[in-house]
Structure 1
Amino acid sequence: MLSHTSPDKSSLLLPAQVVGSVISPEALRSLDSLNINILCDVVEFRADGFPAGFDGLPEAMDRCPLPALLTVRRPDEGGLNALSPADRQARIEALLPHARLLDLEIASLPDFPAVLSQAQALGIPVIASLHDFTGTPDKDALEAAAERAMGMGAAAVKFATTLRRTADLATLMALQEESAVPMATMGMGPMGRVSRLLLANLGSVLNYGYLDRPTVPGQWPAGRLRELIRELKGE
């Protein structure tokens, strides 16, 4: 069982929060017309999906009625626009003061000490993430990755893996159920939608849906995901 003596740094990192992702200028323009408060609990701003020179994100993040989660995804874990590490760091540092949460890959933590220091100074919890588009690592490997992330100051960990067989889903379920640290788990691929409902009900703290179009295979629309999670929990 994974355990760690780290305090919960944010009331946002509670089980079954639904995240709605905004990944393009088109989605950002439609954000104001959505009744966002009934669709999700947190809005993820995927800044890697916006072209260089786009300057509308700070205002949109400040104006958003829900907590803003900042993500600038690395290309080898699904990031858009092939951003270099320097480009990613510059975007994070510029937008972090407008965020309430930061998603940074576990693989990127050692490379971005200045970002981690900035997040700590601003009191912004870091969700350390891992995305595997080929399969699901075994439980021991995922637990080891989580331990590394928590040791580097993460407030929570997030694992999004591709489910090739039911045993992969069982791995994520056991990992989530036994974790003593704030954790978000989700599957991708044909079993992705089922996995997101099961894992949310096992305590996954952040559960991702889309507001305009899916960001990975296996996502629900955010509003529908929120409805189903509540129904399954009897709310």
Structure 2
Amino acid sequence: MKQLPFLNDAADHRAAVDSSTPAATPAAANPRRPAIIVPVQATAAEEIARQCGAIADTGAVDVIEWRIDPVIAAVTSVRNTDSNAAATADSAEMEPRDLAEAVLNLAPYVTAAGLPVLMTLRTGFEGGQAEVGEDVYTEVLRTVISGLAEEAGLPEPAKRSAGVTWALDVEIERSGATELIEAAQDRGISVVASHHNFAGTDSAEAMGATFTAMADAGADVAKIAMMPTSGADVAELLGATARAEETLGIPVLGISMGQLGRASRIMGADFGSCATFAQLGESSAPGQIAVADLAGVIDELYG
């Protein structure tokens, strides 16, 4: 198992204020342990801050996944309601920079918890809440990348990023994926390339090809998530992940979703997965396990 590359040793931002030797996240302190990632899907600033703080308070989480597709969906809904116009995805897609600015304005509420942040704009193509087209997807993320990078010269209190480590999820199937990977990495932001199938499990050959395509595109991490219909599907996913871990030079992450796929979330590291997703409150995908329960098992297995 190759370690997730955007873990930081200064993860506990509140401890960093009081100590010159900040606490590391569990996976940063123990390379044998897969990272635990917990999603936040709230859209209101105060609720985002509350959830992120609660995640950090567990002491068991390495990364917050900030799902910005609910933010995009909420901004789009308000705009369409206020304009009294016919609510269509196309009308919302005309102003991607406004959507990106709404995301950037919420960033301080995420980073206040001090944990590394994986920003994810999950499209409707792959089971998310953002019904945006290819061009808008690329433009929103490109603008967000630039907005975070432009803060490098600002005084610390003015920074949206608050000194934490950022990473970006890029759906490898989107037409602008390679461009986004390059743009993020040019600004020091790690990229998790992703592919999701909520309808079934791709063939072993297709999963292997997807992992390879992600590595060839220059991603820092390659992630696939499949929906199993049988135990054999889970085994196929784990096998494809193990082969990718052995042959590719980047960390990989393979998830089999739903109740049937829980083995991939608990013991995925044995098959090469660098991380696993848990939930604190609302889940972002079927089969996520409560963070306290999952962390306890991982402590026993990889502690």
What range describes the TM-score normalised by the shorter chain of this pair?
0.7 to 0.9
Between the aligned partners of 1:48 and 1:164, the Cα distance in structure 2 is 27
1:176 matched residue in structure 2: 241
8 Å contact kept, 1:48–1:71: yes
Shift of 1:192: 2.7
8 Å contact kept, 2:4–2:35: no
Matched positions, count:
227
Between the aligned partners of 1:101 and 1:172, the Cα distance in structure 2 is 24
2:276 matched residue in structure 1: 207
Indicate the SS of the match to 1:25: coil
Between the aligned partners of 2:113 and 2:4, the Cα distance in structure 1 is 22
Alignment of 1:13-32 (within 5 A): 16-25=34-43, 27-31=47-51
Match of 2:61 among 22, 34, 40: 40
Shift of 1:9: 8.8
8 Å contact kept, 1:17–1:206: yes
Letter in 2 for 1:208: F
1:3 matched residue in structure 2: none
Shift of 1:106: 1.5
Match of 1:125 among 190, 194, 215: 190
- Output the TM-score relative to the length of structure 2: 0.67
8 Å contact kept, 2:37–2:61: yes
When residues 222 and 90 of structure 1 are mapped into structure 2, their CA distance, relative to the original with a 3 A threshold, is farther
Letter in 2 for 1:10: P
2:83 matched residue in structure 1: none
When residues 112 and 202 of structure 1 are mapped into structure 2, their CA distance, relative to the original with a 3 A threshold, is closer
Between the aligned partners of 1:203 and 1:112, the Cα distance in structure 2 is 24
Indicate the SS of the match to 1:167: helix
Shift of 1:35: 5.2
Shift of 1:130: 0.9
When residues 224 and 91 of structure 1 are mapped into structure 2, their CA distance, relative to the original with a 3 A threshold, is farther
Rg comparison, structure with higher value: 2
Structure 2: gaps of 5 or more residues:
8-26, 76-98, 149-160
- Of 155-164 and 46-55, deviating more is 46-55
Letter in 2 for 1:22: V
Between the aligned partners of 1:32 and 1:106, the Cα distance in structure 2 is 27
Alignment of 1:146-185 (within 5 A): 146-178=211-243, 179-180=245-246, 181=248, 182-185=251-254
Q: Work out the percentage of aligned pairs sharing the same amino acid.
A: 26
Match of 1:101 among 153, 158, 167: 167
Structure 1: gaps of 5 or more residues:
1-6
Match of 1:81 among 130, 151, 156: 130
Between the aligned partners of 1:58 and 1:85, the Cα distance in structure 2 is 23
Shift of 1:135: 1.1
Shift of 1:121: 1.0
When residues 221 and 153 of structure 1 are mapped into structure 2, their CA distance, relative to the original with a 3 A threshold, is same
When residues 33 and 146 of structure 1 are mapped into structure 2, their CA distance, relative to the original with a 3 A threshold, is closer
- Output the TM-score relative to the length of structure 1: 0.85
Letter in 2 for 1:102: L
Shift of 1:207: 0.8
CA deviation string 1:69-108 (max 9, x = no partner):
0110121101103123343334323433246211111202
Letter in 2 for 1:41: D
2:157 matched residue in structure 1: none
Higher relative contact order (CA 8 A, sep 6+): 1
RMSD (Å) for aligned C-alpha atoms = 2.5
Between the aligned partners of 1:32 and 1:156, the Cα distance in structure 2 is 23
Letter in 2 for 1:162: M
Letter in 1 for 2:43: P
More helix by share: 2
When residues 106 and 193 of structure 1 are mapped into structure 2, their CA distance, relative to the original with a 3 A threshold, is same
